[in-house]
């Protein structure tokens, strides 16, 4: 079977650090082109300034991976789906829930695959954590996701704009794990969002969720952490404590700690290949719903202006 010809649209840090190596390491895909008005691409691969230009004049492609800011993904995905091209959506899958619903319907009508890619679900500790928790009674969950925005998002003005999510850009990774591994659904009870005086998106958030049985789930997000970074989920159960650290790559159970190689994006592309081969889509908007609920229900406080 011939590999799927894929174009990488958007050539920022995540595309170069994660997507390019994952595509190169997957025999099911061949990189046909890159697209960005702000980047020169990579040696030996056709590069175009826009998706319109690629579809009109570039090499033929079977799929696109959209690594652009979420605010512009809907139009790009629509262009591709109209041509029957399969679409990989970086997280979050869109700037709004309603536009993702429209994309799902477009994909259904064209028969194209639409994949909302939650990369943290493919961290090494997530699948075994999900299996261990499946028949446990959860009594309490604590999520602490604190990092330095200057390290992870330097110069990315779009992330502070409406639709860019602010601190929920990393925080949604934690929610993508929690919604995947916890045995019961959960929802927001209350929260506080801290917005810098000069920005439109939060730099920190403190949220209280509860699951369908009433177990409390607290979430502490902050983009002002310096030194060691924190990406931890601690789950108290009737059989002891389950803890995921380092963004899900390290799992600690009562029986011990497991460390495994980081293969998040390799797992994403393997999943995308399977979906294309079987003619299916995978679009879970659960994590984005929880973020939308935070913007809907949480209190807002003004924080010190953020200057990069």
Token pair for 43: 């040696």
Q: What percent of the chain has pLDDT over 70?
A: 100
C-alpha dihedral, 51 to 89 to 75 to 165, nearest 10°:
-120
Query: What is the C-alpha end-to-end distance of the chain, expressed in Å?
Result: 48
**Are residues 125 and 109 part of one domain?**
no
**Are residues 107 and 249 part of one domain?**
no
Q: What is the pLDDT of residues 122-167, one digit of tens each?
A: 999 999 999 999 999 999 999 999 999 999 999 899 999 999 999 9
| Domain span holding position 227 | 121-260+292-303
As to burial, measured by CB atoms within 10 angstroms (0-12 exposed, 13-18 middle, 19+ buried), residue 268 is buried
What's 224's DSSP letter?
B
**Are residues 108 and 146 part of one domain?**
no
**Are residues 233 and 125 part of one domain?**
yes
**Are residues 132 and 169 part of one domain?**
yes
Q: How many residues does the chain have?
A: 308
Token pair for 141: 């969950």
Strand partners, 221: 145, 205
Is residue 285 situated within a structural domain? no
Of 259 and 81, the structure prediction assigns the larger pLDDT to 81
Among 67, 85, 116, residue at a domain's last position: 116
H or E stretch at 8: strand 4-9
CA–CA separation, 199 and 31 (whole Å): 37
**Are residues 213 and 98 part of one domain?**
no
pLDDT band at 289 (very low <50, low <70, confident <90, very high): very high
Among 96, 116, 136, residue at a domain's last position: 116
**Are residues 37 and 105 part of one domain?**
yes
**Are residues 299 and 163 part of one domain?**
yes
Is residue 274 situated within a structural domain? no
CA–CA separation, 89 and 80 (whole Å): 12
**Are residues 226 and 178 part of one domain?**
yes
**Residue 20: per-residue pLDDT:** 97
Per the structure, how many domains does the chain have? 2
Q: What is the pLDDT of residues 56-104, one digit of tens each?
A: 998 999 999 999 999 999 999 999 999 999 999 999 999 999 999 999 9
**Residue 78: per-residue pLDDT:** 98
pLDDT above 90 for 1:
no
pLDDT band at 262 (very low <50, low <70, confident <90, very high): confident
Can you give the CATH number for the domain in which 197 is found?
Answer: 3.30.360.10
pLDDT band at 9 (very low <50, low <70, confident <90, very high): very high
Can you give the CATH number for the domain in which 99 is found?
Answer: 3.40.50.720
**Residue 39: per-residue pLDDT:** 87
Strand partners, 162: none
**Residue 215: per-residue pLDDT:** 97
Residue among 249, 248, 273 at smallest CA distance from 23:
273
Residue with tokens 């029957």: 84
**Residue 43: per-residue pLDDT:** 93
H or E stretch at 197: none
Among 116, 149, 184, residue at a domain's last position: 116
Question: Which residues are within 8 A (CB) of 158 and not within 5 positions of it... i.e. 6 or more apart?
Answer: 69, 71, 164
Catalytic residue (one of 82, 91, 243, 289): 91
The yes-or-no answer on residue 91 being catalytic is: yes
Q: What is the pLDDT of residues 13-33, one digit of tens each?
A: 899 999 999 999 999 999 999
Q: What is the pLDDT of residues 219-231, one digit of tens each?
A: 999 999 999 999 9
**Residue 58: per-residue pLDDT:** 87
Of 201 and 38, the structure prediction assigns the larger pLDDT to 201
pLDDT above 90 for 257:
no
Token pair for 308: 């990069």
CA–CA separation, 110 and 86 (whole Å): 10
Is residue 273 situated within a structural domain? no
**Residue 11: per-residue pLDDT:** 93
pLDDT band at 308 (very low <50, low <70, confident <90, very high): confident
């Amino acid at each position: 079977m011939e590999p799927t010809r894929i174009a990488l649209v958007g050539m920022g840090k995540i595309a170069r650090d994660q997507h390019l190596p994952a595509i190169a390491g997957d025999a099911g895909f061949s990189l046909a082109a890159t697209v960005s008005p702000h980047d020169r691409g990579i040696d030996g691969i056709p590069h175009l300034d826009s998706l319109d230009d690629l579809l009109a004049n570039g090499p033929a492609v079977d799929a696109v991976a959209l690594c652009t800011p979420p605010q512009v993904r809907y139009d790009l995905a629509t262009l591709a789906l109209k041509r029957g091209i399969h679409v990989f959506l970086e997280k979050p899958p869109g700037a709004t829930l309603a536009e993702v619903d429209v994309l799902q319907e477009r994909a259904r009508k064209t028969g194209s695959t639409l994949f909302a890619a939650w990369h943290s679900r493919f961290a090494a500790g997530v699948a075994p954590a999900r299996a261990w928790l499946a028949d446990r009674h959860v009594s309490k969950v604590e999520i602490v996701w604190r990092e330095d925005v200057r390290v992870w998002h330097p110069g990315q003005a779009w992330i502070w704009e409406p639709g860019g999510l602010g601190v929920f850009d990393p925080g949604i990774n934690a929610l993508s794990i929690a919604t995947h591994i916890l045995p019961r659904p959960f929802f927001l009870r209350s929260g506080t969002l801290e917005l810098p005086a000069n920005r439109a998106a939060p730099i920190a958030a403190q949220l209280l969720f509860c699951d369908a049985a009433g177990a409390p789930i607290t979430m502490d997000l902050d983009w002002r952490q310096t030194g060691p970074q924190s990406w931890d989920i601690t789950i108290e159960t009737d059989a002891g404590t389950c803890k995921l650290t380092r963004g899900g790559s390290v799992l600690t159970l009562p029986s011990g700690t497991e460390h495994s190689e980081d293969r998040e994006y390799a797992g994403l592309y393997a999943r995308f290949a399977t979906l294309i081969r079987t003619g299916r889509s995978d679009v879970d908007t659960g994590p984005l719903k929880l973020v939308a609920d935070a913007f809907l229900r949480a209190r807002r406080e003004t924080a010190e202006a953020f200057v990069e």
